[in-house]
Amino acid sequence: MRIMIVDDEVIIRTGLAKVIKWDELGLELLVPAASAEEAMERIPSERPNILLTDIRMTGKTGLQLAEEARQVLPDLEVIILSGYDDFTYTQQAIRQEVGDYLLKTSKPEEIIKTVLRAKQRVEERRAASSQELFKSKEARDRMFERWVIEGDTDDLCPELQKVFLARLEEPFTSFDGSDRYQVILITAEGWEESPSSGALLLFAVENMLRELLPCETLIQKKRIVMAIRADERQNASLRQWSSYLAKIQAMLKCNLFLAVGKQVEKPEALHESFAAAEYTLGYEGLVNQQVLDYADIAQRKGGKTVCTQEEERELSSILLEGDAVKLKGWVQQFIQSQLDDPQMTLESLEASVRSAALSAHRWLERVLTATGRGNTPEDGALHFQFQLRAFPRDALFQHLYSVMKLYHTRLAEGQATHAQKAMAYIEEHLGSDVGLQQVAKHVHLHPSHLSEVFKKETGMTFGDFVTKQRIRRAMQILTMSPAKVSEIAAEVGYEDVKYFGQLFKKITGKTPSEYREDKGRENR
């Protein structure tokens, strides 16, 4: 496809010719013309597909040139370039169905986008004008989808297979000639000013890839699926991909991510490489790399999968306080610790995030039970749907924030607010200081006033409630854990194990050891 630049200012036409690498956009740059008259002499023989012309020139204007040139080449795409932001000219250009209108002050990337849109229109018209060509392209795309993406190799047209493989069989000069194949998934971002920009960017990237190397491609689900011949030497292959990536990003002013699938020995196994590339694509945004090879992550053993007791205690305290800023900080630190682990996998990250969510649910259940509000309510805010590629930090924060907000805005309402908050605080700090002074400070009441409110709302004294909750927690631990009685006493806030034993028997009628033995027999 050919492009001609027309401008009577030498600095403009030479600048446009040199500042953009037209060949990497899949365009042949014809010798720029210094006037509309020169352009019209050359257009019939050189037959450009795209005309980029100044609107004001000595002699004929760019609009006059566009009108005359289209009489010779009806499908010619015309882009008007002007140094004047002149609405009158714009109106006239629109009336003449000029493809686009650009200011000379436009940045190179804006010119590239405009030219690529014109190129896309040319290609669409070509396909539409040739029904056979359209059918062939459609058939090839469908075959690519069946073969590579769906893994269905039954009854594929032999002729289409030959066409498909023809591009892959052209060896790279730097490759060792081994018969290996590979699928790479590519995402792109950076052109977000309009809804259609993302699709145009993918088209531009696909266009450059096909110019740079032999490959077959398909744009699917906002990504490019590319099948290539592979270099058996992984390091050499990654260096080459990094080079291609840098070249495309510099030209199109965008950001790319490449998920490189495993190498396979036969074209029939390309779906296996695609599946590996798709798994690798799941790490996008989670790793500080732009080219990620499946081989680099296939041997990972997985990182931490559960929220530690220390992390859960810290989370419970934050949820109880209702501090959204601290909660966001906790989530950032929790997720980052997973991402910093070189053994982290998508599965271990998802498990750890779900563990944090369950920790929040356990907290809510505990505080509801402690405040006499029953079990966790059925509420849409507690339904957790986690998708790794939907930013795990945001997903986890939003869920934990919903749990926290549910407690503080709905479940902690009413006249008993202070007593309920005190009970919830006690439940979360049974192993530490839950004296009247400390709890009163948390709920912002004078200790004596809290004591009165607490007795009125719960029907028991503050001290009796603390003792009851500590013994209840000890009963739970004795049932589930083989820990020593002295360790359990310390866990629920009693340093003196003898005193703990006396309180436990007074309330339950059994010593801690007797209680454990009885529960053990019941569970057999």
Tens digit of each residue's pLDDT (9 = 90 or more) over 2-31:
999 999 999 988 999 998 989 888 899 999
Identity of residue 396: L
Continuous segment of H or E residues that includes residue 203: helix 197-212
Q: How far is CA 233 from the centre of its chain?
A: 30
In the Cβ-directed half-sphere of 238, how many Cα atoms lie within 13 Å?
Answer: 15
Neighbours of 43 (CB within 10 A): 22
Mean pLDDT of the chain: 82
- The pLDDT value recorded for residue 479 is 84
- The pLDDT value recorded for residue 181 is 87
The pLDDT of 364-375, averaged and rounded, is 71
pTM of the model: 0.64
Task: Check residues 297 and 167 and name the one with the higher pLDDT.
Answer: 297
Q: If pLDDT is split at 50, 70 and 90, which confidence band does 262 have? A: very high
- The pLDDT value recorded for residue 244 is 84
Q: List Cβ neighbours of 397 (8 Å cut-off, separation of 6 or more).
A: 327, 328, 331
The pLDDT of 476-494, averaged and rounded, is 85
- The pLDDT value recorded for residue 174 is 38
Provide, rounded to the nearest whole percent, the portion of the chain with pLDDT above 90. 25
Distance CA 22, CA 36 (A): 22
Residue 109, classified by CB atoms within 10 Å of its CB into exposed (0-12), middle (13-18) or buried (19+), is middle
- The pLDDT value recorded for residue 63 is 86
403 close to 412: Cβ distance less than 8 angstroms: no
- The pLDDT value recorded for residue 139 is 73
23 close to 115: Cβ distance less than 8 angstroms: no
Q: What is the pLDDT of residues 423-448, one digit of tens each?
A: 877 877 777 778 888 888 877 888 88
- The pLDDT value recorded for residue 416 is 47
Neighbours of 71 (CB within 10 A): 9
Q: Which residue has the tokens 């986008």?
A: 113
Q: How far apart are the first and last CA of the chain?
A: 81
- The pLDDT value recorded for residue 161 is 63
Task: Check residues 458 and 32 and name the one with the higher pLDDT.
Answer: 32
Q: If pLDDT is split at 50, 70 and 90, which confidence band does 95 have? A: low
Continuous segment of H or E residues that includes residue 189: strand 181-189
Q: Which residue ranges form the domains of the chain, and what is each CATH number?
A: 2-108 (3.40.50.2300), 132-297 (3.30.70.270), 309-413 (no CATH), 463-522 (1.10.10.60)
Q: What is the pLDDT of residues 281-333, one digit of tens each?
A: 999 988 888 899 999 899 999 999 999 888 988 998 898 888 889 999 999 99
Q: What is the pLDDT of residues 226-236, one digit of tens each?
A: 998 876 555 55
Strand order, beta sheet including 224-229: 216-219, 224-229, 181-189, 255-260, 291-293
Distance CA 426, CA 432 (A): 9
245 close to 291: Cβ distance less than 8 angstroms: yes
Q: Is 235 helix (H, G, I), strand (E, B) or coil?
A: helix
Distance CA 464, CA 351 (A): 39
The pLDDT of 97-125, averaged and rounded, is 84
The pLDDT of 166-182, averaged and rounded, is 56
- The pLDDT value recorded for residue 367 is 79
- The pLDDT value recorded for residue 91 is 54
Residue 246, strand partner residues: none
Cα dihedral sign for 73, 74, 76, 78? positive
Tokens of 364: 């809510």
- The pLDDT value recorded for residue 232 is 59
CB crowding 491-508: b at 16 or more within 10 Å, else e = bbbbeebeebbebbeeeb
Q: If pLDDT is split at 50, 70 and 90, which confidence band does 495 have? A: confident
84 close to 40: Cβ distance less than 8 angstroms: no
User: Does the structure show a pLDDT above 70 at 384?
Assistant: no
